[in-house]
Every structure is written in C-alpha cells, then in structure tokens.
A and B are shown apart, each in its own frame.
Chain A
Amino acid sequence: MLVIEDLHASVNGAEILRGLDLEVRAGEVHAVMGPNGSGKSTLANVLAGRESYEVTRGRVLFEGRDLLPMSPEARACEGIFLAFQYPVEIPGVSTAYFLKAGLNAIRKHRGLEELDAIDFLAMAKEKLKIVEMEQSLMTRALNEGFSGGEKKRNEIFQMVVLDPRLAILDETDSGLDIDALKIVADGVNALRSPDRAMIVITHYQRLLNYIVPDHVHVLLNGRIVRSGGKGLALDLEERGYDWVKADAGAPA
C-alpha cells in the first residue's frame, strides 16, 4: 500500500529525514518509535503533504501512485488520514460542520453521493459511541476549549468517520491518562481491518500494550535503524534508545 524509498526531507533548510525506507502493506499496523528529534513527526507531516516540509530526495508510492506531487486534500481524498499531535482549534466552526465538509469532499472524490445534514448526524452519532464522546462535542466549535484528552479522542472520532485507507497517528498517546489511552486504543483497534493500514508514531511503548503492532521500527537521525516484531518495543522499553544508538553507531 505504501512504499517509501530513500526519503530525505528538510524543515527550514535543516535536513531531518535522511534516507528513510519503509514498506507498509494493507492490513498491517506499524509502530514507528524513536527519541525526540529523530524525525517521527516529520515523517507524519511529509506523508500528509504539509508544505513547510520540503522533500529533497526519494519517493513515496501510495497504492502504486506517486504521492509527493499531490496536495494535502488530494491525499486525504485518496484515503490518507493524519491524527494530529496538536489538533488545531477553529473558532466558530462546529465539529459537525467541519467533519461533514471533509467527509463530503472525500465522498465526492470517491464518486459517492454527498450526505445531507440529517444522514450525516445519524451516522456520526453511531461513531461517537466508539470513542465514548458526548454528542454535544459535535456542536461545539472545533477543538476550542477541549481538554487534551478530548482533542485526541476527537481525532480518533474523525478518523472513524472518514474511514481512511492509511491512518497515521502522530503521538496520539501523548498527554493522555490511562483511561483516555484505552478509549483511543479501542477506537483504533475497532478500525483494524484487512484493507486498512496504520502507522502509529509514539515515543513510549505504553500505547503498544493496547494497540499491538505487527511491525516495530526505530527511527534515529532520520533513518530507520532497526525493525522487528512487537518484541522490539519491549526491548526498547527495557534498554532505552541508547542501546539502539550505540548499536547503530550513531552519535548519542
């Protein structure tokens, strides 16, 4: 589904990704771990098409098509979803209005009929249950005045509604207490399916107790230095990133 080859990317002229390779097949959940500054969020933003991240080398194929020339909205329409590390507030725009606009843009792209407000609300209400959120969330201005946990759950709610092919979760666990973490993980697990893939970006192993990955990758200085099964995450938890750093011969 997703093939990343020799990806180099910079932000404000500083090279962050330095030759990253990764292949993700449908049905798989990949965890990308790494210390702060290793390039985890850069990877997420580059895949979603954020324009302040400049790709300087390499290529990314999504479903066999060149992803990099596509606009962020085109990628979303193709089925790429990013759960943001820091969800953005939009005053005066309700979550329902926002999400309906997004969903209908995507449906239109897929040749489906747009949903009217009534059908949308009926569908959204069902999905709200998955993330155990109050219906009042839908009428509140998007993320405005939401607690950290509510914002993250709102991201998962949007993911459930938009039904992506590839979901990228950028440190969705950061700032969550254990209850919220479980709810988020349940939402993600409910979405696991043979034709969907997920990339779960996290700093800590904790989330992976609830979302069990098929593959774990360690990102260091902009490259994947080690890949393995779910056991790798446990090794990391025990031995810390320094172990991989030493192993990879990278400066600490």
Chain B
Amino acid sequence: MPTNSNTIEALANREYKYGFVTDIEAETAPRGLNEDIVRLISAKKNEPRFMLEWRLKAYRQWVKLERSEAEPTWSNIHYPPIDYQDIIYYAAPKQPTEGPKSLDEVDPKLLETFAKLGISLEEQKRLSGVAVDAVFDSVSVATTFKKKLSELGIIFCSFSEAVQNHPELIEKYLGSVVPYTDNFFATLNSAVFTDGSFCYIPKGVRCPMELSTYFRINTADTGQFERTLIVAEAGSYVSYLEGCTAPRRDTNQLHAAVVELIALDDAEIKYSTVQNWYPGDKEGKGGIYNFVTKRGKCLGRNSKISWTQVETGSAITWKYPSCILLGDNSIGEFYSVALTNNYQQADTGTKMIHIGKNTRSTIISKGISAGHGQNTYRGLVKILKSATGARNYSQCDSLLLGDKCGAHTFPYLEVTNRAAQVEHEASTSKIGEDQLFYCRQRGISAEDAVSMIVNGFCKQVFRELPMEFAVEAQKLLGVSLEGSVG
C-alpha cells in the first residue's frame, strides 16, 4: 500500500509548456564580451554618446569585479562557474527594415510565438485594459495601445525607443536607483543590456490600464539582459505586469535584468511579476539562471511602491526586489510566492531601507519547496536614524512537500532609530497527511488537494495580483506542482 510521503514526493513531472523554439533568423553578435561588443551593441542601437560612455564605465567596472571577486558568493545557491566569454550578448530577430513601425511589419512568426504564449499583440484581440510590450531575445517587438496611452501623456515603449525619443529622461533616471556599480550582475547588465521597457506617467495621471511586458528568450546560448525603467511623476499611478518564458534547452542560460522604479510625491507604482522561465528538467539539467536586480525608490512624500512576485520558473532565482523609502510617509510592500521543485534553487527576498519619517513597509513571503528544491528567503529591514516613526511588518512562511527539499530563512534587521517598530513572524509547515486525507475523503484527488492547499497558502499574495494575473498564477502553480503527488 503506498504511503503518503511517497504520494507527496512524486509531484512535478509535467512538461514545461513553453519549451518550444521559434525558427526565426536571428542576427547575433560573436560570443564573448569585450569592449568591442559593448560598442557594437551601442552602435546597433544608434545610441547617443552618454549611453555609450555609461556602458563603457560599467564594462570596465565589471572587468575589475570579475578579476577580483566575480559573482557574489553569499547566497544560498550552487552552480558551476559561468563562462562569460561563451555567451552571446546580442541577438535580434532579423528585420527587413530597421525596426517595425507597426504590427504589420512584425514578422508573422514572432506574432505566432507570442500567440502561442497566450500574448496577442493585436490590440483589438487584447483583453481590454492591458497594454503589452513584448521583448523577444533582446529586442522589443511591439508595444500595443501606444496611441491611446500617448493621449494621456503616458510614455510606454521599448527602452531603445526611449533612448532615441526621450534621451533627457533616460539620462536623468538611468542608474539613479541601481547604479552601474551596484553589484556584479547589475554591472554586467549596465554594460550589455539590449532592450527592455520604459514607462513614464506624467503628473497627476492615473494610468487607465495595466501595462505589461512579456519577456521571451529564444536563441540558444544567448543571455537576456533587459532593463526596465518606470518613472511615476507626482500624484500618478501605474500598475505594471511582467511575464517571462524561455524554450527548453539542456544548457543553462543567463538572464540578468535590472528594473528601476521611481515614485515622486503621492505617486504609486504597483509592479507584478509572474516568472516562469524554463526551470530545467527533472534531473536539474538546463534552465535559466535568473540573476535580477530590482529596486524602487520612493523619492517623494507619501509615495508607494509595491512589488508582487510569483516565481515558479528558472533553475536558479536570485532576486531581491527592494524599496528605498526616502520620502516621508512613503510605503514599500513586497508580496512573494517562490516555488522550487525538482532541483530548482531560489534565494529571494527583499530589502526595505527606511530613511524618511513615518515610512512603512510590509513583507509577505511564501516559499514552497517540493522535490529536491531549495528555497531561501533573505530579507533586510534597515531603519536609519532619520526614520522616526518607521514601521515594518514581515511574515515569512515556508511550506514543504516531501522530505528531500529545503526551506531557509535569513531575516536581517538593522534598526538604528529607537522610535521604530519592527515585527517579524515566520513559520514552516509541511502539507500534512491529515490535510491530504481530509480533502481526499471529500472526493478531491491527491493532486488537486495539493494544489488547493498550496493556493490557500499563497492567498495573501495572490490577492495582491491584478485579476487576470491572479488566475494565471494559480494555474501556473498547479502546473509547476503537477507530478509531485502520484
């Protein structure tokens, strides 16, 4: 008679649904990284001088870092050394013209790819209320709803376009939250990033639809280095969604993105991610290395930045979406679900840096480990002397499925203001045999029961997601866990 631990352990064998490769001609740079590659990328993008200089500074910094300490080693993840000279730093789908002016000029194969992923770029077919910027390998393919948004003065376009059309904004804000010296991967990104999204919400404008970027890695052996910059002027609001997939490959692919958010007085940015990069196979072969730096700066008074992430993909996830709470009364939030199955590893969490008075932050982290997955929460709450009246609430819960996985929690608290309040709660639980049996006794299959229990565990985070994303996230969780119960 099968025992229940066997039942739980057997979860996770469903095929990765987005593992197909699009057969499309790509223009790629030679493998490896040197100053010429950086210049090539900048030239391909026809960038102004300040961009090239910034990239070169970053490149030189990176070379220094690589010679001295290389990648950071403090995180709880393990992988063979990455050969940075074996990566292709620029890959773009070949276009007959310089770039698509409208959707009619986009290669139909590309549109097909995004359609397969459930992302229709044709505006009329879009679910109402979501504008999409799609990034394929390194290049932004198309941005929908651009016209409607521009009527409100909202700029939502690819990063490359923004560099061409709004260089003053880029020069002002690029690197203002994540400087090129920030960390090894952010430095690398600063040197070689190829595209991404740019979003600017003018004063007092409430963006009427969700803005969304969809990232797709297609070409083999490429790295994807995109950069997202969102600026919310005083009194504005924007909700931004990010989704990611990649083909199934035996080799690991590097993804090192940077996201910078800036919120001015009374502005609010809500940033949601559903990350489903290819996680590797059951033996842990292949998959994306996801080394991402995401940070928001609440620059203005009463501003608010909220990160919500559902991380189910990638072989390795290393990311800490953070908030610098500079403006008085500003608010930072972090809601996270991270799931690791098979041999996936995640070291993720947040940093909340309280500088302004009466700043508040909330951290809700839900880690789920199945198979041989290792899940680490790492978070810093730092309250500076100036942050009188600052408050933080942190809750870190871990759920274990089976007995070969691991959950780890590293909360760091640095409080230098006596009038601050910091609360931390943590729990670790297993899906109990009694919970499973209870569900099954009511007719619910073991697999559905696990999915139901896990979804219940994540509810606090899911309810922060925009509606359509919440549904997608729940499904994704179900799929990612499939097979972990036999």
Among B432, B452, B456, B458, find the residue whose CB has the most chain A CB atoms closer than 10 A: B456
A48 is contacted by which of B7, B439, B441, B448 (Cβ under 8 Å)? B441
Bitwise, A94-121 to B at CB < 8 A (1) or not (0) is 0001110111011001000000000000
Bitwise, B432-465 to A at CB < 8 A (1) or not (0) is 1111011111111110100011011111100000
Among B4, B443, B445, B448, find the residue whose CB has the most chain A CB atoms closer than 10 A: B443
Q: How far is the CA of A51 from the CA of B434 in the complex (A)?
A: 10
User: Is B127 part of the contact surface with A, judged by Cβ < 8 Å?
Assistant: no
Q: How far is the CA of A32 from the CA of B445 in the complex (A)?
A: 29
Q: How far is the CA of A121 from the CA of B110 in the complex (A)?
A: 44
Residue of B nearest to A103 (CB): B443
Known A-B contacts A52-B3, A92-B457, A141-B456; A87 and B441 likewise in contact (beta carbons under 8 Å): no
Known A-B contacts A88-B435, A88-B438; A73 and B444 likewise in contact (beta carbons under 8 Å): yes
Check B456 against A72 for contact (C-beta < 8 Å). no
User: Is B467 part of the contact surface with A, judged by Cβ < 8 Å?
Assistant: no
A105 is contacted by which of B3, B437, B443, B456 (Cβ under 8 Å)? B443
* Interface range on chain B (Cβ under 8 Å from partner): 20 to 34
A109 is contacted by which of B7, B443, B457 (Cβ under 8 Å)? B443
Bitwise, A56-92 to B at CB < 8 A (1) or not (0) is 0000000000000001110111000110101110111
Check B435 against A102 for contact (C-beta < 8 Å). no
Check A82 against B441 for contact (C-beta < 8 Å). yes
User: Is A220 part of the contact surface with B, judged by Cβ < 8 Å?
Assistant: no
User: Is B118 part of the contact surface with A, judged by Cβ < 8 Å?
Assistant: no
Residue of A nearest to B366 (CB): A92
Closest Cβ of chain A: how far from B408's Cβ, in Å?
Answer: 22
Residue of B nearest to A54 (CB): B1
Check B443 against A84 for contact (C-beta < 8 Å). no
Check B444 against A105 for contact (C-beta < 8 Å). yes
User: Is B2 part of the contact surface with A, judged by Cβ < 8 Å?
Assistant: yes
Known A-B contacts A52-B4, A54-B1, A88-B438; A73 and B445 likewise in contact (beta carbons under 8 Å): yes
B443 is contacted by which of A88, A93, A106, A141 (Cβ under 8 Å)? A106
B452 is contacted by which of A50, A101, A103, A158 (Cβ under 8 Å)? A101
User: Is A162 part of the contact surface with B, judged by Cβ < 8 Å?
Assistant: yes
Q: How far is the CA of A158 from the CA of B443 in the complex (A)?
A: 12
Closest Cβ of chain A: how far from B181's Cβ, in Å?
Answer: 42
Check B1 against A72 for contact (C-beta < 8 Å). no
Check B456 against A91 for contact (C-beta < 8 Å). yes
Among B435, B442, B453, find the residue whose CB has the most chain A CB atoms closer than 10 A: B442
Known A-B contacts A48-B441, A54-B1, A88-B434; A73 and B446 likewise in contact (beta carbons under 8 Å): yes
Q: Binding site of B, secondary structure by majority: helix, strand, loop or mixed?
A: helix
Q: Which residues of chain A have C-beta atoms less than 8 A from B457's C-beta?
A: 91-92
Q: Which residues of chain A have C-beta atoms less than 8 A from B446's C-beta?
A: 71, 73
The tally of CB-CB contacts under 8 A between chains A and B is 91
Among B432, B433, B439, find the residue whose CB has the most chain A CB atoms closer than 10 A: B439
Closest Cβ of chain A: how far from B453's Cβ, in Å?
Answer: 6
Closest Cβ of chain B: how far from A94's Cβ, in Å?
Answer: 9
Q: How far is the CA of A101 from the CA of B439 in the complex (A)?
A: 9
Closest Cβ of chain A: how far from B397's Cβ, in Å?
Answer: 9
Closest Cβ of chain B: how far from A157's Cβ, in Å?
Answer: 12
B448 is contacted by which of A52, A82, A101, A103 (Cβ under 8 Å)? A101
Residue of B nearest to A106 (CB): B443
Q: How many residues of A contact B (CB 8 A)?
A: 35
Residue of A nearest to B462 (CB): A92
Q: How far is the CA of A90 from the CA of B456 in the complex (A)?
A: 7
Check B456 against A92 for contact (C-beta < 8 Å). yes
Q: Which residues of chain B have C-beta atoms less than 8 A from A97's C-beta?
A: 452
Known A-B contacts A93-B456, A98-B452; A73 and B438 likewise in contact (beta carbons under 8 Å): no
Closest Cβ of chain A: how far from B336's Cβ, in Å?
Answer: 15
Known A-B contacts A88-B432, A93-B453, A101-B452; A51 and B443 likewise in contact (beta carbons under 8 Å): no
Check A72 against B441 for contact (C-beta < 8 Å). yes
Residue of B nearest to A104 (CB): B443
Closest Cβ of chain A: how far from B211's Cβ, in Å?
Answer: 29
Check A162 against B443 for contact (C-beta < 8 Å). yes
Residue of A nearest to B460 (CB): A92
Among B2, B444, B459, find the residue whose CB has the most chain A CB atoms closer than 10 A: B444
Bitwise, A192-224 to B at CB < 8 A (1) or not (0) is 000000000000000000000000000000000
Q: Which residues of chain B have C-beta atoms less than 8 A from A92's C-beta?
A: 455-460
Residue of B nearest to A99 (CB): B442
Tell me the chain B residues, 396-447 only, with Cβ under 8 Å from chain A. Answer: 432-435, 437-446
Residue of A nearest to B458 (CB): A92
Check A105 against B435 for contact (C-beta < 8 Å). no
Q: How far is the CA of A72 from the CA of B446 in the complex (A)?
A: 9
Q: How far is the CA of A86 from the CA of B438 in the complex (A)?
A: 10
Q: How far is the CA of A227 from the CA of B4 in the complex (A)?
A: 35
Check A76 against B442 for contact (C-beta < 8 Å). yes
Q: Which residues of chain A have C-beta atoms less than 8 A from B434's C-beta?
A: 86, 88
Check A84 against B438 for contact (C-beta < 8 Å). yes
Q: How far is the CA of A71 from the CA of B4 in the complex (A)?
A: 12
Closest Cβ of chain B: how far from A214's Cβ, in Å?
Answer: 25
Check A90 against B453 for contact (C-beta < 8 Å). yes
Tell me the chain B residues, 1-38 only, with Cβ under 8 Å from chain A. Answer: 1-4, 7
Q: Which residues of chain B have C-beta atoms less than 8 A from A75's C-beta?
A: 441
Closest Cβ of chain A: how far from B226's Cβ, in Å?
Answer: 34
Check B452 against A102 for contact (C-beta < 8 Å). no
Known A-B contacts A51-B1, A52-B433, A105-B445; A87 and B456 likewise in contact (beta carbons under 8 Å): no
Q: Which residues of chain A have C-beta atoms less than 8 A from B444's C-beta?
A: 73, 98, 101-102, 105
Closest Cβ of chain B: how far from A139's Cβ, in Å?
Answer: 12
Among A49, A50, A88, find the residue whose CB has the most chain B CB atoms closer than 10 A: A88
- CB-defined A-B contacts under 8 Å, sample of 5: A51-B4, A92-B455, A92-B460, A98-B442, A98-B444
Q: Please name the 6 residue pairs, one residue from A and one from B, whose CB atoms are nearest each other, closest first.
A: A92-B456, A102-B442, A92-B459, A93-B456, A105-B443, A72-B440
20 more A-B residue pairs beyond the given contacts A72-B440, A97-B452, with a C-beta to C-beta distance below 8 A: A48-B441, A49-B441, A50-B437, A51-B3, A52-B433, A71-B440, A72-B441, A73-B443, A76-B442, A90-B435, A90-B452, A92-B458, A98-B444, A101-B444, A102-B443, A105-B443, A105-B444, A105-B448, A106-B443, A162-B443
